[in-house]
Structure 1
C-alpha cells in the first residue's frame, strides 16, 4: 500500500549544541551533503510509490529536519509534540500549523512531554510507547486518550538510543488476519520491556549492537521495502531472509545530529 510521509528539508541543518550522545558541535558538518542525503531519501520514497509532503524549514531550528518528532497521526487524529529540550520546543507550533493548514481537524497539542514518533510506534493494532530519556511516561496515557488506541509502555535504558525509533521499527503492520512484525535491539530496553516485546512479538527480527550503532533500527518499512542506512548490512540480510527488500540510503551527515531515515520521516495514517 502506498504510504503518506511528511518531511522537512535540512536547509538550516547544523550541530550547534548537544542534546544526545551523537551530537558534537566540534565535529564539522556539511549542510550541502546533508541536503543531498535528505533529497535522496525523499526521492527514494517517491520511487517506491509513496506520497511525500514537505514542511517549510525555519531558521534557528536546525533539528526541524527530524520531522518524526513533531506529530503522531493515527486514523486521521493528530497528537502533536511537546519537546523535552528547549532547543527544539518551537518546532511543535510550526508542525501544528502545517496540520491545520492541510485540513486536519482533530489536532491535539499535548499537556505532557512527548516527542511523537520518536517514541510512539504504531503497529496496526497498538501503539508502542517509549520512555526513559525524552517522553514522559504520563504522555503514554495521554496518547491513548487522544488517539483512542491501546498503548504498551517500553523503557529505554541506553542513552545512545534515547528514542524508541532508534531501537525498534515495524516491518509490517498488523491486519485482521496477521500480527505485526517488528525488528528491535534488545540492549536498548529494560529487562521487563525485553520480556514484553518477546511475548508480544515472538517472531521479531532481533538486531545486534552493530545493527543499532549505525542507526539500522531507525528504518522505514512499507511492508515490503525496508529503507535503512547503507552500513546496516547485517540487519539487511536478516530482514531479507524474512522476505523484505532492503533499500539502502546514506544518512551519515544527518547521523551526526542523532538521526536516520525514520527520524526524517513522519507518517500520516488516515
Structure 2
C-alpha cells in the first residue's frame, strides 16, 4: 500500500523528462519520466531504498534523504514545503474512525472589515477544505445561479465533485477539480483533511479519489466561469494566507479581460446583496 510521500515522489519522477536533466533517452519503456535508477543516483541513495519509499515500505526517511530527494527532483519552494508536509503525515498516525474537531468557521472581525473595504470586488474567505466562510456582494453576484451558495454551509470542494451544475459553471472543470483535491493536502490539520477525504470519497467517486494520489501542484491558470446571465467570465486569482492559527485564506478574483469587466458592471447595476459571514 502506498503512502502520500511515496505517491508524490513517484508522480514527480514520472513527470520529469530525462533530457531536462541532461540524461540520455534510453528508448521506449513502460513508464514515462525519469528512471528510478537515475533518481536514486542523483539523490545518492540505493534503488532499493528509493523503491521502499515509493511503495510505502519506508515511512520515515531522514531529513538528509528528504533534502537529497528534493534536490534530485529539482523541487521548487512550494513543492519542497509540500514534500515536508507529506513526510510529516506519512510518518505520523492516520486519522481514526472518529471525526476530529472541525476547523473554526469564525472569521476574525478584522478580516470581515477587510472584505468590506474590498467591496465591490469579488472576494471570499475559505479554508483548504473548501468551506466558504464569508464573501462580498461581488462574489455573491458571480456565484448567483451556480448552486454553490444554496446550502447553509457552502463548501466549494463538495460542490465541484458532487453537484452536476459545477461541470457547466466551471468552464475548465478538470483544472478546478485538480486544485480542490490538491488543496486537501494543505488542510487545517492532517486529521481533519483525512476525515474530509474519507467522507467525500463515497459521494464523489473516482473523479475525486484518482486526483488524491497525484500530489503535483496544478498549474496556475485564469479561472473561467460560465455565468448563467453574464456568459463567460475570466478571472485572475490572488490568494492571501491568513495566520496559521486561523487556517483560512482570502481569495480575490480580478477580471482578466475587458468583457469580464463590462459584464461585472452590468451585474452590479442589478439589485445586489451585502457582505455575508457564515457562522
Q: TM-score, normalised to structure 2's length?
A: 0.24
Structure ranking higher in strand proportion: 1
Q: TM-score, normalised by structure 1?
A: 0.24
